[in-house]
Structure formats: C-alpha cells, structure tokens
Structure 1
Amino acid sequence: MINIIGGGPIGCYSAALLSKNNEVTIYEENKEVGLPIACTGILSDTINEIISLKKDFVANKIHSARIYSPNKKIVKINFKKPNVIVFRNKFDQYFRDKALDNGARINYKTKLVGRNKVMNLETRKKKKIKSNKLIGADGPASKVSQIYGFGKRKYLIGVQALIKKKNDNFVDFYPHIGTYAWAVPESRNVLRVGVAAKNNTMKIFKSFSKKYTGKIIGWQGGLIPLHEPGLIATKKNVFLVGDAAAQIKNTTGGGLVPGLMAAEELKKAIDKNKDYDVLWKKRIGKSIWTHYFVRNIMNKFDSEDWNKLIEMFSNRKMKELLSKESRDKPIRILMKAFIHNPSILLFLRKLM
C-alpha cells in the first residue's frame, strides 16, 4: 500500500504513475482537487517533454515577455516556443483523473496528523493508515516533512491578485521588486499580478499593483519554498516530492515542471527499488542548484546591479539566447551567456 498525502498535481501525477503497479490512496485535506489556487500557472515549453497539453486546462499561450530594470529599461523577448498559462484547478484535476483511471483512490477533507495517522476534517475522527510507502506531496508547509523530521525549510510569501484589465498578452517580470514580481496574462482581459518576498509582501504588492489598475476579481497567496542543496527527500519508506521537497526554481518560484519530473523519478525508485534522492538529483538537481546559486547572487543586488545586468541582456545575441532557451534548463542559459558576454562573471563578486 502506497499512501500519498496531498492531491495537487505532483501528488496526483505520482499516484497516476504508481497505481499502474501498486495499490495507491491519496489523502487530500481540501474538499476538491485544485482548490484553493495558489500559483501563477505559467509553464515553459519544457512541459511538453512530460505531458501532452490539453485544451481543457490551457488558459493562454504567451509568445513574448518584458523584463524591467529599476531605471525603467525594458528588455523584450519573443519566445521561439510559447509559454503556457494553465487554469490550475483544471490542470490539477487532469492529473487526478489520470490517477483515478489507473486505479488510485482519493479521500477528501482528510489530513495527516501523526505518524501513519489521518483525521477526517468533517467528523474529526482519526484513524491509522497502513503504509508500505508514504509520499509527502503536501506542499510547502508539508506535514509529512514536519512529522517525519526532514528539517526546517525557508520560504518566500507570495501574494497574487486576479485583475480585470485589458492587456497586450506580454508577461511582465520585475526581478528587483520584492524578491520578484510579475504580471501574467490569463487572457486578453485578465492579469495575474503578484509579488514574492520574504517580508512585507502585502505592502510591496499594494505599491506594485498600482502599475496594473483594474477591478480585482480574486485573491491568491501562499508560501513559496526555497530550495537548499542540503535538503533530503527520502527517509526509509517516506518520500517527499514537489514543493514538499523544495524541488523548485529559486529565481522564479516555479515548481510544477521540476516537481512533475521528480514524480517520474519517484516512480522509478519505488518500482525498481532504486535510491530516489540519487534519481531526482540526477534528473533535476543541477538545474535547481543553478537557480539556487543565481538567486543567492541576485539577493545581494542593488539597483545599479540590476540595471547593469538587464542592460547586458538587451543586446541582440543575449535576447536571442533568452528567446530560445527554457528557464527549466538554466545551465545552458548561463554557459551561453558567459560566452556572449564574459563580463557577467563580474557578478560572482557578490558572493565574496
């Protein structure tokens, strides 16, 4: 018996993969998969290496982005392959349906409250569960991680509003506001506008959102885990995957693509009795470490540093690099950026 705590996309994808050869039960604390929504829902074209995109959950396709510097310099990038904006509730439910089709079961309004113990949130009744394997796919504040002693996590706090506003279908990215800030078009008439920061997130958001005035039709928010190289995702027969394992890109907060990839490695580890930590680190470890490394440099940037960096990326070759390469493959971006403009190496001084 494999029990999965958390019915988000990573938990349900893990269930879909594992239930082909195992008895799998998902425990989800909310009344429905996909709620509440707490994600920008933007995916690079790398998602196509994992699943076939379905019209049902694709909200929009993005072909262009703008990066803003403190001195109001703007770098415009035209993607060779479009980024995809998904409806997170429908995206999550797609994976749930895959899991159920493959034989997995799901219990709603049920949360982990102790070692192999869950509680029904309606009746408040607790019961023991039998697990040959226990998987924590229960997000940034993972109960599995806490109960089974996987160590402390560091976080950003994200706040996002859905704003009714006509737009030109560009993603706007502000790497210098908060830890980073964004405006992502869900459609030509709705923007997902948000900020991630360690402190004072709402205060920063209120100031930032003045750039995008319009009627607020929804609020979303939550913790964004920060990846750290020393974190582990395996303890005997207990495994963490996705945000619960901080398998995330620290430069952008994106965790869907690396989390789905880690789920595929978890399936291999369990079905073939392999070391999960070795497998997922081989698949995505270098990539998310690179995001961790770059984020540590960027955390020490002042306005002048941001102005210099964004100016470097404004020339034709650098813009072409950003348009061609996926942010899910940051090593390729860095290596080619160093070749095109070796002076980028000067930013390494920030680590000294």
Structure 2
Amino acid sequence: MNLSGAINYEAIIWLSFGGPNDPSEVMPFLENVTSGRNVPRQRLEKVADQYMLFGGKSPINEQNLELIEKLRLELSSRSITLPIYFANRNWSPYIGEVVKELQSDGVRSALAFVTSAYGSYSGCRQYREDIQRAVDEYAPGLYVHKIRHYFSHPGFVGTLVEATRALVEDLTSLGDRKIAVACSAHSIPLKMSVSSKYLSQLESVKEAIRDSIKDGGFSDVPVDLVFQSRSGPPTEPWLEPDIGDKLTEYVESGIDTVVVVPIGFVSDHMEVIYDLDVLAAQIAKDVGISLFRVPTASKDDAFVSMVADLVQEQIDPSFHAANYPGMEIPTEECHVGCCLEFS
C-alpha cells in the first residue's frame, strides 16, 4: 500500500467502521467486531440492547451514503469525476469486497478517505492494515493511498469551534449559568496512545475551541478534554477522565451547564447518540447538570467541502487544502513505528 501519494487516481474509496442495518445483523456485527478478544456473550447482549433502542440498526451506513452523495456533487462542481466506492472495515460492504470490485471495474489506483480524523491504531493504522490485507488477497497490483489525517482542516475543527462558541453564547444569553465545555473523544488504552499523536491532536482541537471561547469573552468557561466508550478490562489503564466522572466533578465545582463537543467523531453514530445522548445525558440529569451537545462535524456542509479539498490536493499538485490557524499540518508519511496497537 502506498503512503506517499500519486497523481493519476481513478477512484475514491470512502472507508468507515460499519454497523448493522437491521436487528438480525446486530449480534453478528458485534461478534465480528470483537472476534478474537474473548468478550463475554453477556457483554455483547448488553450492547445489542443498546442498538435495539434505535430500531436495531446503526445510523452510520445511511450517514455515510448521504455524505458520499454530497461529495459526488461537490467534486462534480470542481470538475472531478472520480467514482466513489463505499466500504467498511467491520461490516458489509467489506473492504475486501470493494477492492475486488474496483479491480473488476478496471481501476488501477484509488484514494481512500477514512472516517477518522486522527492518528491511532484503531483510527488509522488498522485501516491501513485492512486495506493492504484486502489488496493482497483480492486485488493484487491495485494501488491505494490513504488520505492523511484531517483534524486540523477548517472543515473539521472549524465547524466544531464555531458551533461550540455559538452554543455557549446562546446559553449565556438565557441567564446566569456556570458553563463548562467538555470535548469528548473515544478512549483508547494508554499503551496504544503513546505510539501515536492521538492525544496531542485531540488536545490541539480542544485548544482551538478554548481559544475561540476565550476570544468571545468567555474566559471563565473551562474547556476540558474527556473520554468515553472505553471497552477494555478495568485493570487496563485507558485515557481519562471519563465523561461521567467529569460531570460529577463539574457539579462539585459549581458548574450547572455543560456543553459536550464530540471532537473525536465524524458523525452521529452509536458512540454519539447512545454514549453521549443517552448515557452521559442520564448522568448529567442525575447529578443536576443541564447538558447540551454540539453536532458532529459532518452535519456542516463544510465537512464535505473538506473531503473534496483532501481529494483535490492529491490529484492537483498546485492545490493545497486549508489548515486551521496555528495547528499542525498533518504529514503524508507514516513512520514505521507509528500508531502501533501496543507500544
């Protein structure tokens, strides 16, 4: 798999995590995701019950398909006519099926856009490994380049910054509130985090939000990085603080209103609509906090424009995608030891 890019790309792969489309797929999907990890059946059944609260399906596939259609229109407006193929890592259409289809269609080189903005094993390297494995098995000779991280593109971080500041302004105008902002991302094991820039990239997004809040005249509003959705054994240290613990801490410091910003997620899938909108919301209610959530970045049209930018910079040497002021510009190259599963 190529990591340095090329010019003559013939297709785009929109690659995501995957999710069940109906109740009959929920348990097979969960079994597939947790394969080889010795997760107790009881735990899988508990997670399956969470899906049933939303009709036994994940919204992620429909969200991806809607974004793909918007991307087609945006690329067309730029005279870019590359076909877009939808693929998943953990459910149909599997990446293996899709690279086989690409080869059958005569595609020799493709760009892969992954619905994860940051570097980490599960958010970057594992996708690259799965792409390479699929190419080796189903489409030898197919040339695939994974598009770089995009946490610092204005179409991602800028939408979160603007939406957060606007919500804080609105809440402040409603009366005397003690507000805090909690920037939430998926927790990962500490030993996994040290081999990637995941934590520093999240911190940079949080800092951009904090600076915007401060510039808006709300310097007394704390902005914190919190984590959610941990799934490992309790004996293994993961990134903290957990959002539930932080909500309790906020109460103890006199905070009565919390704005949650899902900076670690691209769209409103299960980790957002259940872990935040249900679990975190219930904890907030229990401790007496008013909880408000900022939309995920893909809710803004700037997100699709960003994806088009990332595609265009790969096929047009004279074009360079924008970067949020003061933030790191992600590199195209991945060094050998980056984003390892275990350090």
TM-score by length of 2: 0.28
Which structure: greater strand fraction?
1
Q: Which has the higher helix share?
A: 2
Q: TM-score, normalised by structure 1?
A: 0.27
- Structure scoring higher RCO (CA < 8 A, sep ≥ 6) equals 2
